[in-house]
Structure 1
Amino acid sequence: MNNTTKEETVELHQTHLSDVKFADLPLLPELKSAITEMGFEFCTPIQAKTLPISLEGRDIAGQAQTGTGKTAAFLLAAFQHLIKHPKPNKNKRNQSQVRFVILAPTRELAIQIAKDAEKLSKNTELKIALAYGGTGYDQQQKAIEAGVDVLIGTPGRIIDYWKKKVFSLHECQGLVLDEADRMLDLGFIQDIRFLLRRLPDPGKRLSMMFSATLSHRVMELSYEHMNQPEKLEIKAEAVNTKKIAQYVYYPSNDEKIPLLIGLIQKLKPERAIVFVNTKRNAETIDDYLRGNDIQAVLISGDVRQNKRQSLLKEFAAGKHQVLIATDVAARGLHIDDVSHVFNYDLPQIAEDYVHRIGRTARAGASGEAHSFACEDTAFYLPEIEEYIGMSIEMASVTAELLADDLKPRKRITRDRVPQRPNNNGNKPGQKHSGKPRNGGGYKGKNPRNKSGNQSANKTANKSDNKPKAS
């Protein structure tokens, strides 16, 4: 197979849409009618560039970020391919023959893709199914066993069902890898390769890959498992940042929470997202915002899946003013009218900065991004500014911006996923016996006390336990 790719760099228009109409594309009538019913007339730039290629059955490796319309681009191509190539007869083993697989890095993104898929396929006979971890194992399995054309989900759960022979990939006609860079960052490379090696040869299927960046790792994957893909680079940074007023503050760690609350109280955003690098920081912020009469909601992997979806719906409906999230938890979320983004922690990866601030100023709207370059994350800023091609305006941390007399809410319970006891652990209700585990702490010592002095540990334990700002 020739691994040469055709490269094309595309600069985005000043507006969110291109001048290409869906009506002018060679789409089947049932797909055009669904698009019309959804109120879409013009393509986004990524749709305008990819659809003419993918509708001809050619593979694509496209660089596009969340919010650019890439989901509709690959769904329309996949559906048209399946309709033009009718489902073969069931095999003798009577397994469900999945015809198209769409892989996503997170449950939230998989769910969002499935929602869009249902809308775009409403005038067809195609059957859509979801497969993702955290909930609904038996229900998802039954849906797949009933027969499915398009299977959307996360790699781990899909592999699990394949190993149980819930479905077969022998007749699979296509594959989509959405947010391929994020899947690699999350360590899914082995799972992805496992599935790709069980699909028909690249020349016998339609393959599409989308990624925020077409890094060497991403393109290496396309070289191995795609058929001479067209490489389309859509420079999304210009659109994602041009209408966003960006500011960077240099607070001390102790000033971060007072500054965040002060900015929220001053700016009064109708809907804002606060990004953090750790779940621990997310929980601390959640406690302080709620404790100071700011309606906030936290999403993380520790919250039960059904509760998580409920909270996201409430935020989208305007019930909560602030959403607190890590990059992974927020990936794939489609929430309109977010006016402000706060980077409580600067991201370690420059491209994640663009992902974050791109949550505001969607569909051509304007927005604001306020970033905290604190003692722990300030050294990420030069790489971010180099990546976006501009210097971020510096804003002063003044006394007027720092909220005072802050109190965290008293935490009672959280909707956490129950932890399963390991094989060597005690069962629920069973007392522990034997040697103490780790001496009751990190090797029996306070991990913050590098000297290991026990008296210092005792003194530290008796010190003021007031919550820190970060």
Structure 2
Amino acid sequence: MGRVSADSSLQANNPPSPPTFASLGVAAEICEALGEAGITHTFAIQELTLPLALDGKDLIGQARTGMGKTLGFGVPLLDRVFDDAAVAELDGTPRALVVVPTRELAVQVGVDLTLAAAKTPVRVTTIYGGRPYEEQIATLNDGIDVVVGTPGRLLDLHQRGDLLLDRVAVLVLDEADEMLDMGFLPDIETLLSALTHEHQTMLFSATMPGPILALARTFLHKPVHIRAEDPGASATHASTRQVVFKSHRMDKETVVAKLLQARGRGRTIIFVRTKRTAADLVTELSRRGFVVGAVHGDLGQGTREKALTEFRQGTTEILVATDVAARGIDVDDVTHVINYQTPDDPQTYVHRIGRTGRAGNSGTAVTLVGYDELAKWKAIDEELGLDTPEPPEWFSTSPEFFAALDIDPDVEGTVGPAREVAESTTSGPGRGRRR
């Protein structure tokens, strides 16, 4: 297995400008569509991936979340489907398949690929659970060239005979480690086994646990392993400032309410562990006058998509989410991530705080460690080398809290009159419209 890494010697005082997509040989139509969206130059993972991927080689792309993996595989995928003589002419059956772990990520990848394909005849669709089979089957029957979807629904449609895979020329597994964590590995192996003909496979992942490497050895042909940073680099973004402190459970709501009034705060994601906590926190913040959206498992897919759309568009600047959304929110200008509850493991912590400090922006990640969560935090701290095994104890009235997060000490725990919370935001047993 070959390996390519970004040379750390490039971190000089005057590093060269990254190459453009056009200079790397990407089709003019795709470059034009990207250019209209303000995207012309590549990130490191894209610069390293494109020459190999455009040539049809199998590869493993490894980079932290927020480093541009989607276009790293999406641009060469579209280029080959659109303009590669080695790929059969488009005839309405899929030429490319992108497999992702969550519905939210499927939607976001579909949006990005549709944008890049806007000047080409390539048709892109997303397929995932929570939507009627009939509308997805109708889309496939109408003719589609690139399918983005989650493993379970893709496998169902393939086994029913509605999703044809015999002409797929490019296969992508995105966020492979997350699919492993979510128990999708058997479905992935079944899908891969269905592609018995020659095709290109690209596997992208933030980490490379043993089962994922075994999958790569089994199903990829002489893949090149690409890393977009030094192998010893931190798992978290240097552009993300991490603030961690012990917070009493009864004080956390007020801490968050004041934190949401920090100077310079823009789009903010608040992560919680449970659906109940998400619903309760949305209700409490709404009572304090904040406009809040929610994404958690008790909400219908349409409601979750609406909340994510409003967050991306800036209609709602605060989003409370369980980890179902940790990899599906691809917004470059999230200024703050708040871990209202300490994550269960180091990888979840990395994925959560990776929602900020993206695409060259800076960000702030704040973790409120409950007294019963100290053991969990110490495990995260040790694994990631964060050097904060004993976080300080701060309250919503602590001067250190205000200073560390640039909050006016005179702010109140409310910002206005209570707002009504729609039932669709707090769905769950016994929940209705509340104030």
Match of 2:352 among 351, 356, 371: 356
Residues 399 and 197 (structure 1), Cα distance of their counterparts in 2 relative to 1, 3 Å cut: closer
Matches of 1:104 and 1:207 in 2, distance apart? 14
Equivalents in 2 of 1:153, 1:38: separation in Å?
Answer: 24
Residue from 2, 7, 19 that aligns with 2:3: 7
**Change over 3 Å in CA distance of 1:43–1:371 after alignment to 2:** same
CA contact (8 A) 1:243 1:367 kept: yes
Q: 1:279 to 1:232 in 2, by over 3 A?
A: same
Alignment check: 8 A CA contact 1:16 1:363 kept: no
Structure 2 residue corresponding to 1:277, chosen from 238, 262, 273: 273
After the TM superposition, which of the residue ranges 16-25 and 307-316 deviates more from structure 2?
A: 16-25
Structure 1 partner of 2:202: 208
Secondary structure of 1:167 counterpart: coil
Aligned amino acid, residue 23 of structure 1: A
Structure 1 residue 248 displacement after superposition: 0.9
Match among 297, 304, 320 for residue 301 of structure 1: 297
Sequence identity of aligned pairs in percent? 33
1:345 maps to what in 2?
Answer: 341
Range with greater deviation from structure 2 (37-46 or 152-161): 37-46
CA shift in 2, pair 1:42/1:17, >3 Å? farther
The change in CA–CA distance for 1:327 and 1:10 in structure 2 (over 3 A counts) is: farther
Matches of residues 49-448 of structure 1 in structure 2 within 5 Å? 49-82=48-81, 83-84=83-84, 85-87=86-88, 97-201=93-197, 204-235=198-229, 240-265=236-261, 269-392=265-388, 394-398=391-395, 400-401=397-398, 413-414=423-424
Classify the secondary structure of the residue corresponding to 1:151. Answer: strand
**Aligned letter for 1:87?**
A
Give the distance between the partners of 1:158 and 1:399, measured in 2 at CA: 47
Offset, 1:103 = 0.5
How much does 1:192 deviate? 0.7
The CA deviation at 1:413 is 3.0
Offset from partner CA, 1:169-218 (integer Å, 9 cap, x none): 222212100001111111111111111110124xx110001011011121
Q: Is the 8 A contact 1:304 1:416 kept in 2?
A: no
SS in 2 for 1:27: coil
Extract unaligned runs of 5+ from structure 1.
Answer: 91-95, 420-470
Output the CA distance in 2 between the equivalents of 1:167 and 1:180.
21
**TM-aligned CA deviation for residue 157 of structure 1:** 1.2
Residues 329 and 35 of structure 1: CA distance in aligned 2, closer, same or farther (over 3 Å): closer
- Structure 2, unpaired ranges of 5+: 402-411, 430-435
Q: Contact 2:22 / 2:28 at 8 angstroms: preserved in 1?
A: no
Distance apart, 1:264 and its partner CA: 2.5
Following superposition, the deviation at residue 17 of structure 1 comes to: 9.6
Give 3-state SS (helix, strand or coil) of 1:302's partner. Answer: coil
Does the Cα contact within 8 Å between 1:241 and 1:358 map onto a contact in 2? yes
Task: Report the counterpart of residue 436 of structure 1 in structure 2.
Answer: none
CA contact (8 A) 2:239 2:361 kept: yes
Offset of residue 51 of structure 1: 0.9
Alpha-carbon displacement from aligned partner over 1:12-70 (angstroms, at most 9, x marks no partner): 77699962222221223333333333332321000011111111111111112332111
TM-score normalised per structure 1: 0.78
**Does structure 1 conserve the Cα–Cα contact (< 8 Å) formed by 2:296 and 2:321?**
yes
In the alignment, is the contact (CA less than 8 A) between 2:280 and 2:426 conserved in 1? no
Q: Is the 8 A contact 1:16 1:44 kept in 2?
A: no
Change (3 A) 1:268 1:54: closer
SS in 1 for 2:194: coil
CA apart distance, 1:416? 8.1
Amino acid paired to 2:319: L
Instruction: Specify the alignment match of 2:33 in structure 1.
Output: 34
Once superposed, what is the RMSD of the aligned Cα atoms?
3.1
Distance 1:418 1:340 in 2: 27
Q: Give the conservation status (yes or no) of the 8 Å contact 2:179–2:185.
A: yes
1:144: Cα distance to partner?
0.5
Write the deviation string for residues 277-326 of structure 1: whole angstroms up to 9, x where unpaired.
22122122112111111221111122222222222222233333321111
The alpha-carbon distance between structure 1 residues 287 and 364, as it changes in their structure 2 partners (threshold 3 A), is same
**Would you say the 8 A contact 1:275–1:344 is kept in 2?**
yes
Q: Which whole-Å CA distance do the structure 2 matches of 1:324 and 1:89 have between them?
A: 42
Change in 2 beyond 3 A, CA 1:418/1:146: farther
May I ask how many residue pairs the two structures share in their alignment?
408
User: d(CA) in 1 for partners of 2:17 and 2:168?
Assistant: 33
**Matches of 1:410 and 1:120 in 2, distance apart?**
39
Task: Read off the aligned partner of 1:56 and give its amino acid letter.
Answer: D
- Could you tell me how far 1:232 is from its partner in structure 2? 1.5
CA contact (8 A) 1:17 1:45 kept: no
Cα distance in structure 2, aligned partners of 1:182 and 1:239? 15
| Distance in 2 separating the partners of 1:356 and 1:33 | 33
Q: Kindly name which structure, 1 or 2, has the bigger radius of gyration based on alpha carbons.
A: 1
Offset at residue 255 of structure 1 (A): 2.8
The one-letter amino acid paired with 2:424 is: R
CA distance in 2, matches of 1:197, 1:291: 52
